[in-house]
Structure 1
Amino acid sequence: MNDSVRRRGRPARLSQDAILLVAQEIVESGGIDALTMRAVAERLSSSPMAIYRHVRDKDELLLLLLDRVAATLERPELPADPRQRLIVLWRFLHDELAAHPWVVGVLAGGDLAGRSILWLVEEILQAFLACGLTAEQAGAAYRTVWQYTVGVLTIRIAMARTTSDLDRPTFQTAMIAAADPGQTPAIAAFAGEWPHAFDNYDFGLNALLDGLIRRP
């Protein structure tokens, strides 16, 4: 066998970009629990030790992935009114996280965060300040809306995973539909159309912002 044939049969040379590409494919399809150095190595026809020469550990791999995703985001056009800026910024963040469910798990599960997204945090804080909040209040307001947003997305992701395996209405939907109007008239009025937070995220967002901004 000549050298050219041998070269064609060898695995591609490892690089951090190749590792990140495969790692993103894994988390996009299977979530962060599916991401291991061994899983990445197997897809690259390599060994886990070879992966460690390019990435220190799983945490560093996740940080690099967060930055990789954040760097691809196109910044939205922001209105002059600070409250409207907050609506645009939080909806932008919500929609981008919904498009990458694994990111929600990373951010909610620890202290990992990509530096490439700091511009968005800065814009949100500046908008809260422009609404009249102090620096301390702006920080608290950010955490409040962040927790609401992550909560909404966590429920949405979990329900999507559950209902995708069912060929019947969920237990909750069936329970609401069967509610007795005599005993629980308010619940029965929904007739099975129980509103979930991810269906009316904007309602909750506006209510939160109204309460936070009007705070003395």
Structure 2
Amino acid sequence: MTVWDRPEPPDRPVPLDRERIVAAAIALADEGGLAAVSVRKVAARLNAGPMRLYGYLSTKEELFDLMVDEVNGEILPEERPVDWREALRVLSRRTREAALRHEWLADLLGGRPSLGPNGLAVTEAKLAALDGLADIDTVMRAVETVSAYVIGAIRREVANLRAERASGLSELDWQRASGPHVMNMLATGLFPALAKAVHDGTDVDAGTAFATGLDWVLDAVAAKVARPPA
């Protein structure tokens, strides 16, 4: 039985429900990452005893499941585009935006499937965007491919943000500090392709890189699922 199938216990002097528990856990995670979340810390924030929370969930992993499902509710747009590319683009962009608001989400994306109502609704929206364009196996592989790109791009971006904070250097300051080493290595002639990228490539921000990569992935999906023009 999943955490969503179990009934909540009756109310007591300190009002509790899963909604309050999840909100407190998300607030802790937003402040200090997943390491800051424990049943004891959530209970303390709610002025309740830790054992009371076990009436609403059995493990910390179930708490994480509830947190992910809550954030999945932020990903679903109020209006869903009819065009399949735009529908997947919107869901992908909103997933990235949610992960930048809640960086801990990057650590949980791509884990076990989200079986909560919001998680299932996000999956439904992805599959529905491609419904009728190809057989269901092709549609599923297409959705998995887009999701793999989105998860990988988000994790990389969040990792860079964390590294920047840990070093105390902005990306520009880090580039300046590491520049002499990189230039010395490129001057050896051992890395010609990398040298070309460094000297001739265009530097873009993370949002632009994400959108460009996503468009390329959607182009590949289109080659597999989109109907030819009439």
Shorter-chain TM-score tier: 0.7 to 0.9
**Structure 2: stretches of 5+ with no match in the other structure:** 1-12, 226-230
CA contact (8 A) 1:106 1:112 kept: no
Distance 1:144 1:81 in 2: 18
Query: Is 1:169 aligned to 2:174, yes or no?
Result: yes
Distance 2:178 2:144 in 1: 31
- Tell me what 1:82 maps to: 84
Could you tell me how far 1:206 is from its partner in structure 2?
Answer: 1.2
Matching of residues 1-216 of structure 1 within 5 Å: 13-16=14-17, 17-72=19-74, 75-130=77-132, 132-166=133-167, 167=169, 168-169=173-174, 174=179, 176-180=182-186, 183=189, 184-189=191-196, 190-191=198-199, 199-215=208-224
TM-score scaled by length of structure 2:
0.73
Alpha-carbon distance change, 19 to 83 in structure 1, aligned in 2, over 3 angstroms: closer
Q: CA RMSD in A?
A: 3.1
Residue identity matched to 1:31: G
Deviations 1:12-43 (A, max 9, x none): 81412432222111111122232111111233
Alpha-carbon distance change, 197 to 129 in structure 1, aligned in 2, over 3 angstroms: farther
Alpha-carbon distance change, 24 to 43 in structure 1, aligned in 2, over 3 angstroms: same
Residue identity matched to 1:215: K
CA contact (8 A) 2:77 2:91 kept: no
Distance 2:39 2:33 in 1: 14
Residue identity matched to 2:53: I
Distance 1:118 1:211 in 2: 25
CA contact (8 A) 1:133 1:213 kept: no
Distance 2:209 2:72 in 1: 25
CA contact (8 A) 1:156 1:198 kept: no
Distance 1:26 1:105 in 2: 15
Distance 1:45 1:203 in 2: 47
TM-score scaled by length of structure 1:
0.77
